A and B are shown apart, each in its own frame.
Chain A
Amino acid sequence: MGQDPLVHIDNLSYQYPRAKDLALRDVNLSVRRGEFLGLVGPTGAGKTTLCLALSGVVPQFFGGRFYGQVTVAGLDTVETPISLLAQHVASVFQDPDTQLIANSVQDEIAFALENICLLPEEIRRRIAWAVQAVRLQGLEGKHPSELSGGEKQRLAIAAALALQPEVLVLDEPTSQLDPVGSQEVFATVRELNAELGITVVLASHASEELAGFADRIALLAEGQLVDVDTPRRIFARPDLLSRYATRPPQVAQFYQELARRGMPAPSAPVTLEQATASYEALHEQIQLRLCEFAANMSAASGPPLLSVRGLEHVYPDGTRALQGISLDVQKGEYLAILGQNGAGKTTLVKHFLRLLQPTAGQVLVDGQDVGGFQVSELARRIGFVSQNPDSQIFSSTVEAEVGFALRNLGMNGPALAERVEQSLQTMGLVEHRSEHPLSLSKGDRARVVIAAVLAMQPDILIFDEPTTGQDYRGAQRILDISRELHQAGKTIMVITHHLHLLPGYARRIIVMGKGVILLDAPIRQALHDIPTLSGTFLSPPQIVQFALWLASREQVSLPVLTPEELAACFRSRVGSA
C-alpha cells in the first residue's frame, strides 16, 4: 500500500439545495493509494454524500453549498468535470436501477469502456472478466430489467469493476445480495484492491465483511467523522457503536457479552479467524456449560390460512422460476423465506396476491383459490411490502400515501384519518406527514410503504427484503413492528438475506433454491443446516459459524442463534472447581 494519499478530504462540509442542515460538516480524511476504507454509520450519517463527493456528483450534479476541498488523484472534484473524474473514480450506487442504461448485460459493461475508447478486443476481455467476477455468466444477453434485484446490483458492480479505476467507490453495494454473493463481491473487491492496487471506499452496514476486508473503518454520524481506525479498534468500542446505531461483528458482540457477564475476555476479535484463534487463550479461563434451547416453532393446527399446491411458474423467456412448490401457512405464524438471488422467493409471494398467474398448481387463501378473488380484495387481506419501496409510492405527501389504498377502497372521513394517524404513529412518521415521500431517505421510504400497508389492516403481511438499506436500529425497528403485529395475531412472512436479524422474530424458516423448497424447519435447525444453506448461496450468521466450530472442538451440541445465547453457555473457570 502506498503512503501517499490518493484521496484527500480537507474540511469538507456540504449542504444539499433546500436542505436546512449540512449533510457533511468539517470532514477531514485521507485515503492512501491501495487502501480499502470502510464507511460505517447510521442511516443519514452522510456516507452516501461522502461517496458522491468523491466522484464529483456532489456538488456538480446536485448543486448546493460546498465548503473545503476534495482531491482524487490530484484532481479537485469541484473544478474537474465529472466526465474526467470518472476515468479515475468509478461508482456503484445503492440502487442499481439508477445506473443501468443499456439493453443487455454485456452492453451495460461495455458502455463505459466504449466511452473511454478501449479496443474491442480489450472490451470483450474485460466483459468476460467482470461477468465472471460477479457470477453473471450465462446472462450476458439478458436485458437488465429481466434481472433480479441482486443480479442488477452485481451488474452495476461489474460495469464499475471493468473500468479498473484508481478509486472504486461503492455505496451499500451488497445490501440486496445473498450472503455468499455479498462475500464474493467483498472478496472480488479485495482482490482488485490487492492485485491491481485499486483504492476502495465502501460504505456498508455489513460489519462482518468490512471487518474482514477493510484496512481502516471510518465511522460517520450526523455528517461528522466520529473516528477512523482499524476494524479491530473501531468494532471493539460497543458504547460508541451503540450510540451511532452501528452493529459490531457478532463475534465481537460475543466477547463483549462475556465481559458484560463478568468473565475474562481479551480484546474483542472482529473476524471468525481472529475469534477462533483467540479462543485458545480464552479457553483456559472460561468453560462451556450445558445449555438447553426451546425448539421455537409453534405447532401447526387447524386448516391452513394460506396453502400452495404444486405451484409452478415459467416466465415468458422460459425461466422456470417455481417448480412444484407445496406449502401450508397457519394463521398466526411468523415465517421467513430464505434463498439466493433468483431462488424464486419474490415470484412465490407474488402468486399469493395474484400479481402473477401460476403456470400450474394453485394458491388457496382460507381454502379458496386466489383466482376467484379480485386483486383489490386480496390486497385487503394480504399486505405486501415490496423490495423496492419506490415502486409502491404514488402520492405527493406521506400522509396521502398512507391513506392512498384506503381511499381507493372507498374509505374517507374520520375513519380514514384515524387509520392513517395510527399507521403514521406506529411507523414514527408523524413529523414527516407533509413531506414528499421521495424526498425521504430509502429507509424512511420503506417505512412509508409499511405504514400504507399497515393502514389496510391485512391478515397476512409479507415483507420482501424489508431491512435492505436500513441501519441496524432501523432494521430492528421494522422487525419489532412485524413482531408486534405477529403478537396481535397477524400472519407474517419475511423474505430476507439478513439471517442474523431473524432470531427473536421468525420461528419457521423456508429455504428455497432454484424454484424448489430445500428446507422447511424451525429456525434453530435451519440456521445450523450448513449444507442446505450453502446449497442456495446462503451462509449462517457469523455467531452460528463460530458456535459450530466450538461445538466441533468441544464435542457438544450448541444450537445457539445469537451472541447473547452463546455467552450464556459459558462460565468462568475461576472459582468453579
Chain B
Amino acid sequence: MAENGRPKGEERRVQLLGGAAIDGAPIAYIIVWAAVLAVLSFVPIPVSAVLGIGGTFPMSQAAYALVGFVLGPWAGGLAAGIGRLIGIFTAPHTATAGLPSVLSAMVWAAVGGSLVSKKGRQWLLALLVSVLSYVAYLALGWSRGVDLSLGLQTTASNLSGILLWILPTRALAREWIADKNTAKLAGGLALGCWMVNTCSHTFASLLPYVLNPWPANVWRVLIPIIPAEQLVRVVVGTVIGTGVISGLRAIGLFKPTKAGY
C-alpha cells in the first residue's frame, strides 16, 4: 500500500464485458430481463379495459416501466420487445393484441427509461409520443362518434400521466427511485409507474382501436375500468420493482449506466 493509503497501482479504465453492452447495459442483463418478461407473459391479470378481446392483460405489462427504470430507455426497450415477442409465442393466451404489442412494449419501456434519464432530451421525445398518441386516440374516437367530453372522461388517467410528466413530479419520481430509502423507492416506483403506464397506454391502445373500434357506449363503461387497470399495473410494478431494486442494490452487481436506481 502506498504511504498515503492509496493503492500503489495505477487505476485502470474498466470496460464491462469486453464492451458487450447496449447503451451501457450488459447484453446479459437485457437477455435476463427479456426472459423475465416472457415468463410474466404467462400470467393473465383479469382487469383489462379491453373486455371484448379477452378482458385480461399479461403481467409483463406491469413490468415494462420497471425494465426501463433498471436498464435505461434503449436497452429497456429492447429487452421489453424481445420479452414480449417471445411471450406472444410461448403464452398465446395473453397475447390478445398480437404482434403490435411488441412495439407497444418497446415504447412503454423506453418511456420508463426516459423518465429516469438525467441527461439528454429523451423525456421530451417520450412526452411528444404520449401527447400525439393521446390526441390521435381522442380524434379517432371523435371521428367514430365519441364526443369530446366522454373522450376526456375516459382518458382522464392518461391525461393525468401527461400532466404529471410535464410537472416537477417527473423529477420527483426519478429522485425517489434513486433514493436508498425503501419507502421512498416504493413511492418513486408507484409515481413513476403511474406516469409511464398512463402515458404509454394511449400509444398501446391506438392500433387495437383502429383494428377493433369499440363503440362509443363502451367508452362510458371504460371510465372506471381504465384507472382500475392502471392501478393494478402500478401495484404489481411497485411490488416487483421494490424487491428487484433492493436486491440488485444489496448484491452490488454492476449497475447499467442509464439505470435510475
User: Could you list which residues of chain A lie within 8 angstroms of chain B, going by C-beta atoms?
Assistant: 10-13, 16-19, 22, 25-26, 56, 59-69, 78-84, 396, 435-436, 438-439
Q: Which of B1-36 contact A (CB under 8 A)?
A: 1-2, 7-20, 26
Known contacts A13-B7, A83-B18, A436-B247: A19-B12 contact under CB 8 Å: no
Q: Are B11 and A439 in contact, with the CB atoms below 8 A?
A: no
* Residue B211 CB within 8 A of the other chain: no
Least CB separation from B10: chain A residue:
A67
Chosen A-B contacts, 22 in total, with CB atoms closer than 8 Å, are A17-B254, A17-B255, A22-B7, A60-B14, A60-B17, A62-B253, A63-B255, A65-B14, A66-B11, A67-B8, A80-B18, A81-B18, A81-B19, A81-B20, A83-B18, A396-B247, A396-B250, A436-B247, A436-B249, A436-B250, A438-B251, A439-B250
Among the listed B9, B16, B247, which residue makes an inter-chain contact with A61, where contact means beta carbons less than 8 Å apart?
B16
User: Considering the chains assembled together, what is the distance between the CA atoms of A152 and B215 in angstroms?
Assistant: 60
Q: Are B16 and A396 in contact, with the CB atoms below 8 A?
A: no
Known contacts A13-B7, A436-B246: A82-B17 contact under CB 8 Å: yes
Least CB separation from B19: chain A residue:
A81
Known contacts A11-B9, A22-B7, A25-B7: A436-B251 contact under CB 8 Å: yes
Q: Are B243 and A396 in contact, with the CB atoms below 8 A?
A: yes
Residues in A whose Cβ lies below 8 Å from that of B255: 17, 63
User: Could you list which residues of chain B lie within 8 angstroms of chain A, going by C-beta atoms?
Assistant: 1-2, 7-20, 26, 243, 246-247, 249-255
Q: Are B14 and A19 in contact, with the CB atoms below 8 A?
A: no
Known contacts A17-B255, A78-B14: A67-B7 contact under CB 8 Å: yes
Residues in B whose Cβ lies below 8 Å from that of A79: 15
User: Considering the chains assembled together, what is the distance between the CA atoms of A27 and B13 in angstroms?
Assistant: 19
Among the listed A68, A83, A439, which residue makes an inter-chain contact with B252, where contact means beta carbons less than 8 Å apart?
A439
| Nearest chain B CB to A49 CB, angstrom units | 13
User: Considering the chains assembled together, what is the distance between the CA atoms of A454 and B7 in angstroms?
Assistant: 42
Known contacts A60-B17, A60-B18, A438-B247: A11-B12 contact under CB 8 Å: no
Q: Are A61 and B7 in contact, with the CB atoms below 8 A?
A: no
Q: Are B9 and A10 in contact, with the CB atoms below 8 A?
A: yes
User: Considering the chains assembled together, what is the distance between the CA atoms of A78 and B10 in angstroms?
Assistant: 13
User: Considering the chains assembled together, what is the distance between the CA atoms of A66 and B252 in angstroms?
Assistant: 16
Among the listed A26, A60, A64, A80, which residue makes an inter-chain contact with B9, where contact means beta carbons less than 8 Å apart?
A26
User: Considering the chains assembled together, what is the distance between the CA atoms of A275 and B151 in angstroms?
Assistant: 91
Residues in B whose Cβ lies below 8 Å from that of A11: 7-10
Among the listed A12, A69, A78, A83, which residue makes an inter-chain contact with B15, where contact means beta carbons less than 8 Å apart?
A78
| Nearest chain A CB to B11 CB, angstrom units | 5
| Nearest chain B CB to A14 CB, angstrom units | 9
User: Considering the chains assembled together, what is the distance between the CA atoms of A17 and B7 in angstroms?
Assistant: 16
Residues in B whose Cβ lies below 8 Å from that of A82: 17-18
| Nearest chain B CB to A222 CB, angstrom units | 11
Q: Are A67 and B1 in contact, with the CB atoms below 8 A?
A: no
Least CB separation from A77: chain B residue:
B12
User: Considering the chains assembled together, what is the distance between the CA atoms of A313 and B250 in angstroms?
Assistant: 40
Q: Are A62 and B254 in contact, with the CB atoms below 8 A?
A: yes
User: Considering the chains assembled together, what is the distance between the CA atoms of A302 and B27 in angstroms?
Assistant: 63
Residues in A whose Cβ lies below 8 Å from that of B10: 11, 67-68
Residues in A whose Cβ lies below 8 Å from that of B253: 17, 62
Nearest 4 CB-CB pairs, A to B?
A68-B9, A436-B250, A81-B18, A11-B9
User: Considering the chains assembled together, what is the distance between the CA atoms of A79 and B16 in angstroms?
Assistant: 10
Residues in B whose Cβ lies below 8 Å from that of A18: 249, 252
Least CB separation from A16: chain B residue:
B252
Given A56-B18, A78-B12, A438-B250, 15 extra CB contacts under 8 A? A11-B7, A11-B9, A13-B8, A26-B8, A59-B14, A61-B16, A63-B16, A67-B8, A67-B12, A68-B12, A69-B9, A78-B15, A81-B18, A396-B250, A436-B249
Q: Are A12 and B9 in contact, with the CB atoms below 8 A?
A: yes
Q: Are B250 and A435 in contact, with the CB atoms below 8 A?
A: yes
User: Considering the chains assembled together, what is the distance between the CA atoms of A19 and B247 in angstroms?
Assistant: 15
Q: Are A61 and B17 in contact, with the CB atoms below 8 A?
A: yes
| Nearest chain B CB to A384 CB, angstrom units | 25
Known contacts A12-B9, A13-B9, A67-B7: A439-B251 contact under CB 8 Å: yes
| Nearest chain B CB to A288 CB, angstrom units | 50
Least CB separation from A440: chain B residue:
B250
Residues in B whose Cβ lies below 8 Å from that of A19: 252
